[in-house]
Structure 1
């Protein structure tokens, strides 16, 4: 008895395809595109495993982790991180705010490929002049919806 085979161009699964995708290509969720990683701060879930985050939360946590890491802090990847930490003892003037914006923008463009940076603006906190508030405007690649994140940076402890 001979089995019939599907034509060579027939899809291999019954899943729907994304618009513009090849036939038979399954739809991808945001978690598939944006990834999944260990939650920050590191914790344990109710099943006793490391807590994980995915999708937009994974991107947000990756941005915060990047900005909180000083360049040179990672032994095997010394270029990773943000140079904003060089401004810890800098005066609270326009030059420092410009450098803070530049350093954050530079780090995001170099190390976070899942986003398109639209604007980075640093300003002194009106209530605490030792704190620089960095307002980051970005979009997730492939998503037109704008996002924002505020990163507080303390110049001196």
Structure 2
């Protein structure tokens, strides 16, 4: 079992745990919504996704963001997952990331959406 994210306690007062599938999803979420430089010992960890949300929208920005996220996922989680598809979109004050990935250990294909409301 893995420690659940965000860190919390379960009904028995112990540190909450989660299965491997949920742990991988949590690690992807941490990577996506962490800004580079936010981690003291890993200054290049993070996607910078939230910093790009207020930049002028353009195909070039979308391509750069897609490349940055894809490269980061391959670097930091490449031993656990293989990214099959990735789509990043913004809607007013909300960022949406749709990702499909294969879990390397089991071969399971997972499709999920991550979202953040900016306010």
Give 1:153 shift.
5.0
Counterpart check, 1:150 vs 2:113: yes
Q: 2:41 aligns with which of 67, 70, 76?
A: 76
User: Normalising to structure 2: TM-score of the pair?
Assistant: 0.83
Residue 85 of structure 2: aligned partner: 119
SS at match of 2:54: coil
Deviations 1:3-51 (A, max 9, x none): xxxxxxxxxxxxxxxxxxxxxxxxxxxxxxxxx4321222111221111
CA distance in 1, matches of 2:23, 2:81: 12
Structure with larger RCO (C-alpha < 8 A, sep 6+):
2
Query: Which structure is higher in strand share?
Result: 2
SS at match of 2:26: helix
Q: Which structure 1 residue ranges, 5 or more long, are not aligned?
A: 1-35
CA distance in 2, matches of 1:137, 1:74: 26
SS at match of 1:100: helix
SS at match of 1:49: coil
Q: Which structure 2 residue ranges, 5 or more long, are not aligned?
A: none
The alignment of Structure 1 onto Structure 2 pairs a total of residues equal to 118
CA RMSD of aligned residues (A): 2.0
Query: Which structure is higher in helix share?
Result: 2
Deviations 1:71-115 (A, max 9, x none): 110111112111323313211222222222122212211111210
After superposition, residues 8-157 of structure 1 pair within 5 angstroms as 36-112=1-77, 113-124=79-90, 128-153=91-116, 157=119
Q: Spell out structure 1 runs of 4+ moving beyond 6 A.
A: none
